[in-house]
Structure 1
Amino acid sequence: MDNTDSNSVDDASAAALGFYYQSQFALLTLMSQPDNDAGVAIERLDDVELKANGQQLLFQLKHSVQDNPPPVTLASVALWKTIKVWTDALPLVSLADTTFHLVSVGKVPDKSPLSALCDAQADREALLRAMVEEAQRVVDERAGATDGKARHAARAPGCEAFLALDPSVRLSLLRRIRIQQESVTIDQIPDRVAKWLHLLPKQQRLQAAERLLAWWDQQVVYTLCGKRERIIQRSELEQCISSIIAQLEEERLVADFDVMPHPEDYKADGMLYRQIELVDGKPSDVTRAVREQWRAKEQRAKWITDNPQMRSKIATYDAKLTEHWSDRHVRMTEDCEGLDPAQVQAQGLDLLRWTHDFAPNQVEPIAPSWQGHYYVRGTYQVLAIDLQVGWHADYRKLLKE
């Protein structure tokens, strides 16, 4: 992976950007593959190696952060370095089953012989003659230098390797080469990844792309340090995308029952009424509890129907609500020692009304975007029906009796 503008940034930054571009380009390439068995590897036979439909695709990436990236010409160092990499790889691949891709953010000039490599069907004969002529010129000028200066040092290895190939192999190689010009740049890749996530609403795609890129970066590091297989499969990518979609769905919980009235004939479980009766709750306390319990019950049922994975999140949040209640109930029970029954009831009624008036603002919501206060209020009533929480200091003993 060459970064062709290392004069504009320091070499370390250029190398880092270059490698990061490899990683992100590999992700984008794998996402675009329809074959479920496709897989990519980084820094193995080439910058990026793709296997799909029984074919092997090798990618040499030439990234640049310049406003006007250098063009790809017969005199480009990037071209001849790429040729050297591919000639070295020939003994390791089946030429008939391999295509070689030079990916450049720069452009091939319109009248350049290299234009033939931008069209898979174009004839390569004229290009072959031009490349042999250029390679021979480089080798001759290097050999004929009399001033002691090493000319064409960067291009010479590629030129020599190309000339060393059998003439028929040169043409066969050129027929398997493609140039992808004006390729996406590193700063554009997150947006391109987001566009592939069309199953998500537009406003969530970039957020999902950022999470996907973070996961991908970790997988790439693991491939390079031997913590996992070198090839990352498309099936792994799809599984990660599904997981991210599920996470975003949970975080984007909608308050479906925020202002919805319960059916006129709805009756809550009898335990709800008995719990409130123990603390001498007023009719308004009962009305509010029944309404919010119905809304929370319906909301829980809808979430689980739409996404069964919500069961775990709901159970975890129930435990959090129970803990907040327990802290208050234990202290209230201690404060009720020595009080008469009416005073104990009053303390319990205050605890019940805390769940209505203050708990929705004092307990963090079930998801960052959640706005429906009825869920906390109503869930406390759901828990009260199951005797997981209660309002009276001795609610378990009294209800058991």
Structure 2
Amino acid sequence: MGDKDGTSHSAEGSALGFWYQSLYALLILLEQSSDDAAVGIEQLDDIALTADGHDLLYQLKHSIAAKPLPVGIKSRSLWRTVKVWIDLLPKVSLAETGLHLVTVGGIVEDDPLAALSEADSDRDPLASAMAEEAQRVVEARAEAKANGQSPLPYADRKDGCEAFLSLPPAIRLNLMRRVTLKIESPTVGEIEGHIEARLTLLPAGQRAHVAKKLIEWWDRQIVYSLCGKRERVIGRPELQAQISEIVGELDQGKLSADFETVQKPLEYQPDGMLTRQIALVKGGNADIDKAIREEWRARAQRARWATENPALASMINDYDAVLTEHWSDRHSQMVEDCKDFEEDGKCKSGLDLLRWTHNEAPTAVRPIQEGFGAAYYVRGSYQVLAIGLQVGWHPDYKDLLKEGE
């Protein structure tokens, strides 16, 4: 991934940089018209695009700084990128490869690098200027070394400078002729709006919703591609099919399962009532972990549905009543059956009821909408209801929890 000029090397900057890389790949693919277009990230370059038999490689220089540094012939980001591209030369055909340097900043005033932002510009002066700059860096390091200076200057760009000087002048020029500099590109805070703007074939009122769903799907595909759960590249036909599916769900009023594969945030802490309810029936760590995970997913899903369409609030409440009735039938029977049980027997029956919500309820209770089969919503909604004491697992849960207050 490209270095992040103008930022601290913080976890935040790295995470945003990677996300920017993912979103920029989506934006690039949306801009293509060729059906054979496909993109992948972290392969030959930050982003690799194949379209119409040509390869386009992208190096991204993102920044979360309020005023991103402009790029110029002395920039470390330029020379680091040059080193990456020179290392790739044995693996690509320059005649069929375009190289893109993408930055959210501008260009240093009156810098020779400006030639890269102009199509069909003469690259000879730039190649000569870069050779002079590279030579200056190499000589400055040699002089510093002879004088016993430590550390040596220009450590952040010396590899690129040395690699550039190692190329024959004709190859240097040919390399620069394949490069395009894209300046003042959208930042990570702006790029979602650009993705939305690319959905021009959709009604204006649908674009924001579709873009949001599309980005969530895209993020999952990128992660899957990097960990080997899918092909490394994503093609335009697959992207178009996903857009059509999202639009179809929207037109039909179909509920979407947005959190089925989403993991809860590491810092998430559920309401203490969830664990207290499980502790009453002596549930184990596996019961607690599953309950917390599904409660977060269901809570997040309920909030999203209600936010995107306030009319769904009544559907959510009505379905809670359905869940509660199914629970009540079982709990009432359990209370009768456990009337003469010792505490251990009551706990075992209550634990069985808790595990029923995990294992059987998702198929025993009708779905909230026909065709909606995400089990986490049933499992997690029972935990949401348990937090509110609308349901419980122990035969005497209300009395025991009230006593514990």
Tell me which amino acid in the other structure corresponds to 1:75.
K
Q: Deviations along 1:164-187, whole A, 9 cap, x unmatched?
A: 011110000000001000011111
Contact (CA 8 Å) 1:194, 1:209: kept in 2 or not? yes
Q: Deviations along 1:307-343, whole A, 9 cap, x unmatched?
A: xxxxxxxxxx9xx99xx8xx9xxxxxxxxxxxxxxxx
Per-residue deviation at 1:149? 2.4
Which structure: larger Rg? Answer: 1
Specify whether residues 243 and 173 from structure 1 end up closer, same or farther in structure 2 by C-alpha distance, changes over 3 A only: same
Please list every run of at least 4 consecutive aligned residues from structure 1 whose deviation after the TM superposition is greater than 4 angstroms: 363-367
Name the SS of the counterpart of 2:65 in structure 1: coil
The answer for the alignment partner of 1:174 in structure 2 is 176
Per-residue deviation at 1:227? 1.1
Please give the root-mean-square deviation of Cα atoms over the aligned residues, in Å. 2.8
In 2, Cα distance between equivalents of 1:227 and 1:21 = 21
Q: Which runs of 5+ in 2 are unaligned?
A: 256-314, 326-366, 372-405
Name the SS of the counterpart of 2:87 in structure 1: helix
Q: Deviations along 1:199-244, whole A, 9 cap, x unmatched?
A: 3322221111111001001110111111111111011100000000
Q: When the two structures are superposed, what TM-score results if normalisation uses the length of structure 2? A: 0.62
Tell me which amino acid in the other structure corresponds to 1:184.
P
In 1, Cα distance between equivalents of 2:151 and 2:242 = 54
Contact (CA 8 Å) 2:7, 2:64: kept in 1 or not? no
The answer for the alignment partner of 1:104 in structure 2 is 103
Map 1:240-319; keep pairs closer than 5 Å: 240-251=242-253
Q: Deviations along 1:98-139, whole A, 9 cap, x unmatched?
A: 011000001113411111100121001111111000000000
The answer for the alignment partner of 1:209 in structure 2 is 211
The answer for the alignment partner of 2:189 in structure 1 is 187
Q: Deviations along 1:13-52, whole A, 9 cap, x unmatched?
A: 1111111111000000000000011000100000000000
The answer for the alignment partner of 2:34 in structure 1 is 35
Equivalent residues, number? 265
Per-residue deviation at 1:148? 2.6
Contact (CA 8 Å) 2:7, 2:65: kept in 1 or not? no
Provide the identity percentage.
Answer: 48
Specify whether residues 35 and 158 from structure 1 end up closer, same or farther in structure 2 by C-alpha distance, changes over 3 A only: same
Specify whether residues 75 and 229 from structure 1 end up closer, same or farther in structure 2 by C-alpha distance, changes over 3 A only: same
In 2, Cα distance between equivalents of 1:247 and 1:49 = 31
Contact (CA 8 Å) 1:190, 1:206: kept in 2 or not? no
Name the SS of the counterpart of 1:66 in structure 2: coil
Tell me which amino acid in the other structure corresponds to 1:193.
I
The answer for the alignment partner of 1:275 in structure 2 is none
Tell me which amino acid in the other structure corresponds to 1:122.
S
In 1, Cα distance between equivalents of 2:49 and 2:369 = 44
In 1, Cα distance between equivalents of 2:200 and 2:132 = 48
Name the SS of the counterpart of 1:186 in structure 2: coil
Name the SS of the counterpart of 1:185 in structure 2: coil
The answer for the alignment partner of 1:357 in structure 2 is none
The answer for the alignment partner of 1:154 in structure 2 is 156
The answer for the alignment partner of 1:218 in structure 2 is 220
Specify whether residues 364 and 171 from structure 1 end up closer, same or farther in structure 2 by C-alpha distance, changes over 3 A only: closer
Per-residue deviation at 1:198? 2.3
Specify whether residues 68 and 229 from structure 1 end up closer, same or farther in structure 2 by C-alpha distance, changes over 3 A only: same
Q: Which runs of 5+ in 1 are unaligned?
A: 254-316, 328-362, 368-401
Contact (CA 8 Å) 2:138, 2:162: kept in 1 or not? yes
Contact (CA 8 Å) 2:70, 2:105: kept in 1 or not? yes
The answer for the alignment partner of 1:3 in structure 2 is 4
Of residues 231, 234, 237, the one that matches 2:233 is 231
The answer for the alignment partner of 2:202 in structure 1 is 200
Specify whether residues 239 and 365 from structure 1 end up closer, same or farther in structure 2 by C-alpha distance, changes over 3 A only: closer
Name the SS of the counterpart of 2:66 in structure 1: coil
